[in-house]
Amino acid sequence: MTTAKDLFIIAMDSGQEPAVGQGDLSLALAGAELIDLLGAGSVTLEGDRVVPGEPSAPDDDRLVGEAGARIVRQTPYERVEDWLWRRGKDLAATYQTALEADGELTQKAGGRLSFGARRMEPVDTPSRHAAIDRWERREPVLTALASVVGIGGGFSEIEPGLDDEAATSVVAAVHDAVMELEAVRQRRTIENAAFANLWRGP
């Protein structure tokens, strides 16, 4: 399993109330993929730019391999923030479909994440056990990404044990993107409320 798949499973297993938002999780999954690509040597960071390296993916994972294939290979290379928004579009739903196809998810009423009318929960598999073990060991990257989307406590600018500069930069970019998404949500809520009041009248 990759960091992204582990994060998805932890998000579904967390008991978080309210459940992690699909948009927030999608951005975090894109960050997790990028960190795994960094670990595999598929990319490096130069400042805030994602620089392509060897075309390989951790454990030959299909989704991370797909992510690696979508890295911009022309200069000027893509900024981390732009990668998160581009790759992160509907990524949580993509992971749900993939994990369901692999027998890692099952449909059940009352599941932790609900995309549309379908509710899903992790199947009790070795992959789920491995993700939970990684979480319980407080593995720094998984812990940091989970905290960005509100799992396991609030986000800290300096996560304990997260001493890799590139990974730290990616986690910080994910945090900024999630905050930007929340600002958009709040602005839309205010605008919708103002529009409703306008039609309601005095």
Q: Are the C-beta atoms of residues 14 and 135 closer than 8 Å to each other? A: no
pLDDT at residue 121, as a whole number: 82
pLDDT at residue 4, as a whole number: 95
- Given a cut of 50, the residues of the chain with pLDDT beneath it are 111, 117, 157-160
pLDDT at residue 21, as a whole number: 83
Beta bridge partners of 121: 106
57-61-63-68 Cα dihedral, nearest 10 degrees: 10
Half-sphere CA count of 133, side-chain side, radius 13 A: 7
pLDDT at residue 201, as a whole number: 54
pLDDT at residue 111, as a whole number: 47
pLDDT at residue 152, as a whole number: 77
